[in-house]
């Protein structure tokens, strides 16, 4: 985020909260400042500057889905129906919701996340919605890994990437057409309570929302489970809640891995690629968790997808 955009974005958040007075600085906070977007809060209003180059029409279509009354209680609705422009960056406005507390992992709302996903996946997909961006994000992670330069852990990650089908590498359309309404980047950081602290959980962040393979939305917790980073009971809670809510990504009973294997592999590769790129940029070795994800890529590269169940744990 450039230095001139952050103050301007904060001013926009204040203006959305107090249209008659944009000078009040009470409760200003930067919630995130990353390559893919910057988020600031003023009181009960949140403003997000989306990544440079975001397609206006695609973002407008995604924001419209969040504001669709048919998805009330699933997606956090925007405060304004369309993105605004700020120094060439698209900005959207949202009500504030309290996030999942990372310091209390035993209270993680796995059942709520799974139920919201099932409801999203069962919703009719609107016309004109772009593809879900999950595979494109994985491909960008690989590009970032390659740009980072040589690293001894890169080879198994790239081999695992090469073993994925073209659609999972964003090199071909996702099957089947026309696809299911998907979030595209599901993790616990994508849930908030609204009203804050007391309200129900809702899904946020529509940047990657679109039509695609619904199993992709289950892939991150599936990958964590397969890598040994998510306890089996938490994975079971998540999967069971999704099945009970009628989610279409996996069978209601029986083995879920034929549907989950490719997306989970792709998310594992994405996570490992980003971990290596960040470690190179910071000049530090991989930590234990990051190495576990790289080790999972090594196992994946040795086992064909058609023979794998949970990365051949």
Q: What is the CATH number of the domain that holds 249?
A: 3.90.1200.10
Return all residues near 83 (Cβ < 8 A) that are at least 6 apart. Answer: 50, 56, 59, 60, 63, 90, 91, 92
- Pair 151, 78 in one domain: no
Which pTM was predicted? 0.91
Alpha-carbon distance of 80 to 41, in angstroms, equals 15
Give domain status of residue 23, yes or no: yes
Q: According to the model, what pLDDT value does residue 307 have?
A: 47
Q: Which of 96, 118, 153 is the last residue of a domain?
A: 96
DSSP reduced 3-state for 188: helix
Distances in Å between the Cα of 294 and the Cα atoms of 152, 230, 287 are: 11, 16, 11
Alpha-carbon distance of 95 to 100, in angstroms, equals 16
Return all residues near 251 (Cβ < 8 A) that are at least 6 apart. Answer: 243, 259
Q: Which of 38, 62, 96 is the last residue of a domain?
A: 96
**Tokens representing 313?**
């744990």
CATH classification at residue 47: 3.30.200.20
Nearest-5° angle of CA 301, CA 306, CA 311? 50
Burial class (CB within 10 angstroms; exposed 0-12, middle 13-18, buried 19+) of 43: middle
DSSP state of 218: G
- Pair 144, 242 in one domain: yes
Give domain status of residue 312, yes or no: no
- Whether 204 and 78 have beta carbons less than 8 Å apart is answered as no
Number of domains composing the chain: 2
Return all residues near 6 (Cβ < 8 A) that are at least 6 apart. Answer: 30, 33, 38, 40
Q: According to the model, what pLDDT value does residue 309 have?
A: 55
- Whether 79 and 16 have beta carbons less than 8 Å apart is answered as yes
Q: According to the model, what pLDDT value does residue 21 have?
A: 53
Q: According to the model, what pLDDT value does residue 4 have?
A: 62
Distances in Å between the Cα of 137 and the Cα atoms of 52, 142, 216, 236, 258 are: 15, 9, 12, 27, 22
Alpha-carbon distance of 268 to 261, in angstroms, equals 10
Give domain status of residue 313, yes or no: no
Q: Which of 44, 78, 96 is the last residue of a domain?
A: 96
Give domain status of residue 177, yes or no: yes
Give domain status of residue 58, yes or no: yes
Distances in Å between the Cα of 136 and the Cα atoms of 92, 170, 184, 212, 228 are: 22, 5, 10, 12, 26
| Residue-range definition of the domain harbouring residue 25 | 5-96
Average pLDDT of adjacent 10-residue blocks, the chain of 313 residues = 68 73 66 88 94 96 97 97 93 97 91 98 93 97 96 96 96 91 97 96 98 97 96 97 98 95 97 97 95 95 59 48
Dihedral sign of CA atoms 241, 266, 32, 93 in order: negative
The 3-state DSSP composition of the chain as helix, strand, coil percent (nearest 5) reads: 45, 15, 40
- Pair 164, 34 in one domain: no
- Whether 174 and 132 have beta carbons less than 8 Å apart is answered as yes
Alpha-carbon distance of 215 to 257, in angstroms, equals 10
């Amino acid at each position: 985020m450039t230095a001139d955009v952050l103050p301007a974005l904060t001013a926009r958040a204040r203006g959305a909260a107090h249209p008659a007075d944009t000078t009040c600085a009470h409760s200003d906070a930067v919630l995130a400042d990353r390559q893919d977007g910057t988020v600031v809060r003023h009181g009960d209003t949140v403003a997000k500057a989306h990544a440079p180059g975001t397609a206006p029409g695609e973002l407008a279509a995604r924001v419209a889905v969040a504001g669709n009354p048919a998805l009330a209680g699933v997606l956090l609705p925007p405060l304004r129906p369309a993105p605004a422009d700020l120094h060439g960056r698209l900005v959207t406005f949202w009500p504030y919701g309290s996030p999942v507390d990372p310091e209390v992992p035993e209270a993680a709302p796995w059942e709520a996340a799974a139920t919201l996903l099932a409801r999203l996946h069962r919703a009719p997909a609107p016309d004109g919605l772009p593809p879900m961006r999950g595979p494109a994000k994985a491909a960008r992670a690989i590009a970032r890994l390659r740009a980072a330069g040589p690293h001894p852990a890169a080879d198994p990650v790239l081999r695992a990437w090469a073993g994925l089908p073209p659609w999972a590498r964003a090199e071909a359309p996702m099957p089947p057409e026309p696809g299911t309404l998907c979030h595209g980047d599901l993790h616990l950081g994508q849930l908030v309570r609204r009203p804050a602290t007391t309200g129900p959980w809702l899904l946020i962040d529509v940047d990657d929302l679109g039509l695609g393979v619904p199993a992709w939305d289950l892939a991150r917790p599936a990958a964590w489970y397969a890598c040994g980073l998510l306890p089996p009971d938490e994975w079971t809670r998540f999967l069971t809640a999704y099945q009970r809510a009628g989610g279409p990504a996996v069978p209601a009973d029986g083995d879920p891995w034929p549907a989950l294997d490719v997306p989970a592999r792709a998310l594992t590769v994405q996570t490992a690629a980003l971990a290596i790129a960040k470690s190179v940029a910071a000049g530090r070795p991989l930590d234990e968790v990051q190495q576990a994800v790289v080790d999972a890529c090594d196992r994946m590269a040795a086992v064909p997808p058609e023979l794998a169940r949970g990365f051949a744990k």
